[in-house]
């Protein structure tokens, strides 16, 4: 089947995390056609072994690329990007935009030169992260909290649940109460899910912290790459086929998910990708 003439993006994550990037895309390019794929069958990625993840992500993205014929793919997941970007770029010829912890950005803006990172446990232990630190913020003290729970809290917050402040606060203390933690002035969000916890972090974290959410920058980068490979998106309302939202396993709170993805343009609900 030939690729559709108007650009079609595939945004991928383990769950709702990549929807922060979709949100940014919607405001920058409202008429863009976006398919979303969430590997809910293996959520949370942050608690899976690397070998399993690498194989799974490669297989799933190659299959999705074949079936959905995107013009460009966004791997809107730090845990997946820091592991599988090189192999995906080797396997597929279309442009792939990844999402990596905003260490470089934090290094650019931190005045205290002590920066924090919140990420999944898997991202926190990746050599990729050490390399980012060495290459782009070597003069900064980097403190990391690899969290087992924040991605799941973000899933709940996205579906409209009010989180207990104490459960979010507990996670923040694991970062700020490390030795030197009181010097942190900038915290990067190293997991796309955390976009949906940002209001909690801003409210419950220490005052004066700069919270860096890379989602808008990832969306801008994708649009720049899209400009390289395809004509500009058609005017609003003229997209050829509706945006689709795929999961690899049924969600726990079906109705909550359907209503919350609708405001991001996925008005036809979700379907299983197989």
Residue 138 DSSP label: T
Structure-token pair, residue 227: 């400009």
Q: In whole angstroms, how close is the CB of 105 to ligand DGL at the nearest point?
A: 16
Residues 107, 135: contact at Cβ < 8 Å? no
Active site residue 99: no
Beta carbon nearer to ligand DGL, 13 or 243 = 13
- Kind and range of the H or E run holding 212: strand 210-212
Known binding residue 192? Answer is yes
| Cα–Cα distance measured from residue 230 to residue 5, given in angstroms and rounded to the nearest whole number | 8
Composition of the chain by helix, strand, coil, percent to 5:
50, 15, 35
Decide: 11 and 34 in contact? Cβ < 8 Å: yes
Shortest separation between residue 38's beta carbon and ligand DGL, angstroms? 9
- Under the phi-then-psi rule, with left for phi > 0, alpha for psi from -120 to 50, and beta for the rest, what region is 208? left
Query: How far apart are CB 47 and ligand DGL at their closest, in Å?
Result: 7
**186 assigned ligand-binding residue:** no
Q: Is 110 annotated as a binding residue?
A: no
Phi/psi at 60 (nearest 5 deg)?
A: -65, -45
**What are the tokens at 133?**
């630190």
Between 14 and 58, whose beta carbon lies closer to ligand DGL? 14
Least Å from the CB of residue 86 to ligand DGL: 17
CB atoms closer than 10 angstroms to residue 125: 15
Q: By C-beta, is 196 or 266 nearer to ligand DGL? A: 196
Q: Is 78 annotated as a binding residue?
A: yes
Structure token pair of residue 145: 């909290």
| Residue 58 marked ligand-binding | no
In angstroms, give the least distance from the CB of 56 to ligand DGL: 12
Q: Which is nearer to ligand DGL, 126 or 244 (CB)?
A: 126
The answer to whether residue 191 is catalytic is yes
The reply, when asked if residue 65 is annotated as ligand binding, is no
Q: Which is nearer to ligand DGL, 100 or 230 (CB)?
A: 100
The Cα–Cα gap between 142 and 110 comes to 11
Q: 87 near 60, Cβ under 8 Å?
A: no
Binding site residues, ligand DGL, CB under 6 A: 13-15, 17, 43-46, 77-79, 120, 123, 151, 191-193
User: Which sequence positions are flagged as catalytic?
Assistant: 77, 191
Binding-site residue positions for substrate: 13-14, 45-46, 78-79, 192-193
Binding-site residue positions: 13-14, 45-46, 78-79, 192-193
């Amino acid at each position: 089947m030939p690729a559709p003439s108007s650009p079609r993006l595939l945004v991928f994550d383990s769950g709702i995390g990549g929807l922060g990037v979709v949100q940014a895309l919607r405001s920058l390019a409202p008429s863009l056609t976006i398919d979303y794929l969430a590997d809910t069958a293996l959520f949370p990625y942050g608690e899976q072994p690397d070998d399993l993840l690498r194989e799974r992500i490669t297989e799933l993205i190659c299959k999705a690329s074949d079936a959905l014929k995107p013009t460009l793919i966004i791997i809107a997941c730090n845990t997946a990007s820091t592991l599988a970007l090189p192999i995906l770029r080797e396997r597929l010829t279309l442009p792939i935009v990844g999402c990596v912890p905003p260490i470089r950005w934090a290094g650019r803006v931190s005045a205290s030169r002590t920066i924090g990172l919140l990420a999944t446990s898997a991202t926190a232990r990746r050599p990729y992260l050490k390399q980012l630190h060495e290459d782009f913020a070597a003069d900064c003290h980097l403190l990391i909290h690899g969290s087992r729970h924040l991605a799941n809290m973000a899933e709940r917050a996205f579906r409209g649940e009010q989180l207990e402040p104490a459960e979010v606060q507990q996670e923040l203390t694991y970062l700020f109460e490390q030795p030197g933690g009181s010097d942190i002035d900038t915290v990067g969000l190293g997991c796309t899910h955390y976009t949906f916890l940002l209001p909690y972090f801003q409210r419950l974290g220490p005052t004066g912290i700069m919270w860096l959410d890379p989602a808008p920058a990832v969306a801008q980068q994708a649009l720049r790459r899209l400009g390289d490979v395809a004509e500009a998106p058609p005017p609003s309302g003229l997209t050829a086929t509706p945006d689709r939202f795929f999961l690899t396993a049924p969600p726990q709170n079906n109705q909550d998910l359907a209503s919350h993805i609708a405001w991001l343009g996925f008005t036809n609900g979700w379907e299983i990708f197989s």
